[in-house]
Amino acid sequence: MTKSARTGRIFLDYLRNERGATAVAPYSPRARAGAPVSIPLAWSEITGSSEFATHRPTFHVAHFPDWRPRLTRDPWRTLPTTRQSLPALL
């Protein structure tokens, strides 16, 4: 579903729920050679004159000191206390 067709909605891709399909949480290592890490990027980092606009960025566990400054806080600290729910459809 295109982004414009889901304004104000959450898109649940049921096709990702099958054998072999993966989803990776931010700052999690992937089960791939070199242990690449899933890191969120701002749109401004992948558009315009950003260094990432011209090549695909890769981050690896072994290079944590290089990308550690991106973490201004522990991204998992509040996870155990997070309470949320999805609203009913209107």
More confident residue, 82 or 1: 82
| 54 domain-assigned | yes
| 22, two tokens | 């993966």
Mean pLDDT (the chain, rounded): 80
More confident residue, 16 or 7: 7
Q: Which residue has the higher pLDDT, 48 or 64?
A: 64
Q: Is residue 11 part of a domain?
A: no
Q: Would you say residue 88 lies in a domain?
A: no
Residue 3 pLDDT exceeds 70: yes
Residues of the domain holding 29: 25-71
Q: How far apart are CA 38 and CA 28, in angstroms?
A: 5
- In a domain, residue 40? The reply is yes
Mean pLDDT of 40-58: 75
Burial code of 56-73, b = ≥16 C-beta within 10 A, e = fewer?
eeebbeeeeeeeeeeeee
- Which residue from 65, 64, 74 is spatially nearest to 34, judged by alpha carbons? 64
**pTM > 0.75: yes or no:** no
**Considering its fold, how many domains does the chain have in total?**
1
pLDDT score recorded for residue 70: 83
pLDDT over 70 at 49, yes or no? no
pLDDT score of 27 more than 80: yes
In angstroms, the CA 57 to CA 51 distance is 9
Q: Would 33 be classed as within a structural domain?
A: yes
pLDDT score for 90:
62
Structural domain contains residue 15: no
